[in-house]
Amino acid sequence: MSAVGTEQAAAWVQAFAERVAEQRDHLTELDSAIGDADHGTNLDRGMTAALAGLQATPPADAAALLKAVAMTMISKVGGTSGPLYGTFFLRMSTALGDGRPAEVAAAFRAGVDGVVARGKAEPGDKTMVDALLPAAEALTDAVGAGEPLDAALRSAAEAAARGRDAVTASVARKGRASYLGERSAGHVDPGAASAVLLVESAAALAGG
């Protein structure tokens, strides 16, 4: 995979929707421990609607595709995560350019920056940002070091998983989990878990 075009973007979104569907009950279970038990159903509803929308109205290019997914996530997911994932896909769509590796890394970074700007979570607050930010950094570093996109995406997926695990012991400082205070410690953050699926879906396409 040397560049991300419409076909690659479609395959990524499809793979993410499949992973979310497969992990729906697990994500909801994570959210039942420190939230309101809807993260899996929220994302599954949004991604199922996103796929249906893409089929009904095939987008002209990868940017239009990511934008369509963004709009569906924002409008169809009631939870906090919908607008945040929506912002991620929307910002990514505007920065994707021709989809060459450096642009993909920059677009991913722009998406993560959008999530941070919208949700105001800082690293260590125990949110999806704790998986997304290390992934963006690993992707940028690997692409910058001249690694092929495939390998760079695999590094990003590993960084995302490490980021998710690194905040499991932490106390949540954003979102519903923060209402639990100390009791949120020792639980995996649902949004960090789903963000790992997002990055793993890209790495899997790349043959990882």
Which of helix, strand or coil describes residue 3?
coil
In the bound complex, what is the minimum distance in angstroms from residue 21's beta carbon to Mg ion? 17
Q: Which of Mg ion, ligand ADP, none does residue 191 bind (CB under 5 to 8 Å by kind)?
A: ligand ADP
In the bound complex, what is the minimum distance in angstroms from residue 147's beta carbon to ligand ADP? 28
Q: Find the angle CA(35)-CA(182)-CA(122) to the nearest 5 degrees.
A: 75
Q: Which of Mg ion, ligand ADP, none does residue 127 bind (CB under 5 to 8 Å by kind)?
A: ligand ADP
As a whole number of angstroms, the distance between CA 145 and CA 27 comes to: 34
For residues 111-140, which are near ligand ADP according to CB under 6 A?
115, 119-121, 127-129
Q: Using CB atoms, what's the residue nearest to ligand ADP? A: 191
The verdict on 101 binding Mg ion (CB under 5 A) reads: no
76 contact partners, CB below 8 Å, separation of at least 6 = 45, 46, 49, 50, 82
With CB under 6 A as the contact rule, the residue among 8, 23, 72, 80 that binds ligand ADP is 80
- Of the CA atoms within 13 Å of residue 45, those in its CB half-sphere come to 14
Q: Note whether 192 and 126 are within 8 A (CB).
A: yes
Binding site for ligand ADP (CB under 6 A): 31, 35-36, 38-39, 42, 79-81, 84, 115, 119-121, 127-129, 174-176, 189-192
